[in-house]
Amino acid sequence: MLHENAMEGLQKANILLVEDDDFEAKAVRRAFHKARIKNEIVRAVDGEEALAILENTHPHIHVPTPLIALIDINMPKMTGLELVEIIRSKPALQNLICFMLTTSRDPGDIHQAYSSHVAGYVVKETAGQDFTRLLSLLDDYWITVELPDTPRH
């Protein structure tokens, strides 16, 4: 069960889920719903779409800040690691809070992710089928930190 204070903090954060797999995206949404987290979750199916959303150039989707991104590593067109590198290179996006959400246990991926200043690296298998461990991590994170209001173009 989430802490009452966490629920107040969670209401301030919008979530960008960057996930190409429909099943995984539905699992994340179900887990948030099951935990009674009512934050808006907007999904991008790849890194290119995520960048368009973050840069407010997507023709149909706008996500207000503050924003937290849950990013899969293995995606078509642009990997999650490439996406985070681009995000960190753009002054308007560089403070975006990013969590890697992946099946990869590759030490190189983990090192590269943390070198790009991700807030956390979560292996989907250890997060559990319903992502309860991930939600617990996010719950603790939101209770502890003050989220920036990231200006975007």
Summarize pLDDT for 63-109 with one digit per residue, the tens. 776 678 999 999 988 999 999 999 999 998 988 989 998 888 899 99
| H-assigned helices in 4-131 | 4-10, 22-34, 47-54, 80-89, 107-115, 124-127
pTM for this predicted structure:
0.80
Q: What is the pLDDT, as a whole number, of residue 4?
A: 45
Contact status, residue 50 vs residue 37, Cβ threshold 8 Å: no
CB neighbourhood size of 116 (10 A): 19
Distances (CA, A) of 16 to 54, 97, 140: 9, 10, 19
Contact status, residue 66 vs residue 152, Cβ threshold 8 Å: no
Provide the token pair at 41: 């979750």
Residue in the structure block whose two tokens are 């209770």: 143
Q: Residue 130: pLDDT above 90?
A: no
Q: Residue 5: pLDDT above 50?
A: no
For 36-50, 60-74, 99-113, 130-144, which range has the lowest pLDDT when averaged over its residues?
Answer: 130-144
